Amino acid sequence: MAARDAGALAPAVPRPDAERSCAAATCCAAATVEQGPRPVAAPAPTPAAAKRGLASRFNRKETWLSLVVLVLFVAGWEWGPVLLGIAPYNIPRLSLVIQEGVFLYQNSELLYHAGITCFEVLVGFSLGCLLGAVIGYLLGMSPTTEVIASPYLLALQIAPKVAFAPLFILWFGYNMAPKILVAVLIVFFPILINVLTSVRTVDPALINLARSFKASRWQIFWKIEFPASMPSLFSGLRIGSTLAVIGVTVGEFVGGNTGLGYLLVQGEGQGNTGSVFAAIILLTLIGIIAYALVILAERRVLRYLPKRDFGDVAIPI
């Protein structure tokens, strides 16, 4: 019953790499079968060989083609609108957007607003992750609590989190708190669901193994369940890192006079399409940096996994 509820919640969360959440739990079992025919004496792949394999996968050809796409995109944005006769107040060409960005930098404290947004994203993301993970682990360890809580969690998950933004502003006023809270709320669920599902799907045989060594409940959590949940936790963190930017931006739309979301709305009010685009680009950059930081942390923590598991988005860091 409990497991089914977890499953019912799970599909509502976008999971770009759902297959990896089970990789940790099943890789030994699967590999036991697939590598059967290998003779005992055969040398296993060394870590160095695995690294070389990774390097050759993202070889020069793909990198160049990827750069060509970037160049085409930049060129298309610069000359496309003129060639197609699109008015600058609909799609300003790239150089105009950059000019507008420089203007904002010189006259509207662009860096200050970007810094505020970064701070809100960082705090909102961190608190949301912490809250989601703690509650995810607690519910994961207590099936009864999960059964009791799951309909309400489902309802909260379905509720559009950004719709809470005006409410939070009514409660806390025009400061950073409402923006951070929207981010916390929107980050919370993917983390919660991923952690909960992963704790639930730990191979019971692993738990039994620990029990046979007379492990305490705490030892089972700390030595088996917690590390086993890492791949899923990081899938959640990846999703959360991008959602945090969305939450903060919406919070800034709704009220206050700081942050890139505020600048964006200002630009809209002035009919200044260029500054709207400049704000969108910066918000995207913040999202990319947050995502990249999660990937970097993930590579450190999940270094025990075969390298191919990182292949979904190649970030050249």
DSSP string, 270-317: TT-HHHHHHHHHHHHHHHHHHHHHHHHHHHHHTTTS-GGGGTTS----
Place of tokens 């809209």: 268
Which of 190, 183, 286 minimizes the C-alpha distance to 238?
190
Report the residue number, 1 or 87, with the smaller CB distance to another protein. 1
The tokens describing 65, both together, are 């083609």
Please return the burial class of 243, using the count of CB atoms within 10 Å of its CB with bins 0-12, 13-18 and 19+. Answer: buried
Report the residue number, 188 or 226, with the smaller CB distance to another protein. 226
Report the residue number, 54 or 122, with the smaller CB distance to another protein. 54
DSSP string, 218-240: HHHIIIIIHHHTHHHHHHHHHHH
Report the residue number, 131 or 307, with the smaller CB distance to another protein. 307
Place of tokens 């806390």: 172
Report the residue number, 48 or 83, with the smaller CB distance to another protein. 48
Neighbours of 18 (CB within 10 A): 15
Q: Find the shortest distance in angstroms from Cβ 69 to another protein.
A: 34
Report the residue number, 153 or 202, with the smaller CB distance to another protein. 202
Identify the sign of the CA torsion 105, 109, 111, 117: negative
The tokens describing 296, both together, are 């970097």
Site residues for another protein per CB under 8 A: 24, 27-29, 31-33, 35-40, 42, 44-47, 50, 203, 205-206, 208-215, 219, 223-224, 227-228, 230, 304-306
Q: Find the shortest distance in angstroms from Cβ 210 to another protein.
A: 7
Q: Find the shortest distance in angstroms from Cβ 6 to another protein.
A: 22
Q: Find the shortest distance in angstroms from Cβ 138 to another protein.
A: 22
User: 59: helix, coil or strand?
Assistant: coil
Residue 236 vs residues 26, 61, 171, 271: alpha-carbon distances, Å: 19, 32, 29, 37
Q: Find the shortest distance in angstroms from Cβ 2 to another protein.
A: 17
Q: Find the shortest distance in angstroms from Cβ 20 to another protein.
A: 12
The tokens describing 307, both together, are 């390298």
Q: Find the shortest distance in angstroms from Cβ 194 to another protein.
A: 17
Report the residue number, 47 or 316, with the smaller CB distance to another protein. 47
Report the residue number, 226 or 262, with the smaller CB distance to another protein. 226
Q: Find the shortest distance in angstroms from Cβ 202 to another protein.
A: 11
Alpha carbon 239 to its chain's center: 3
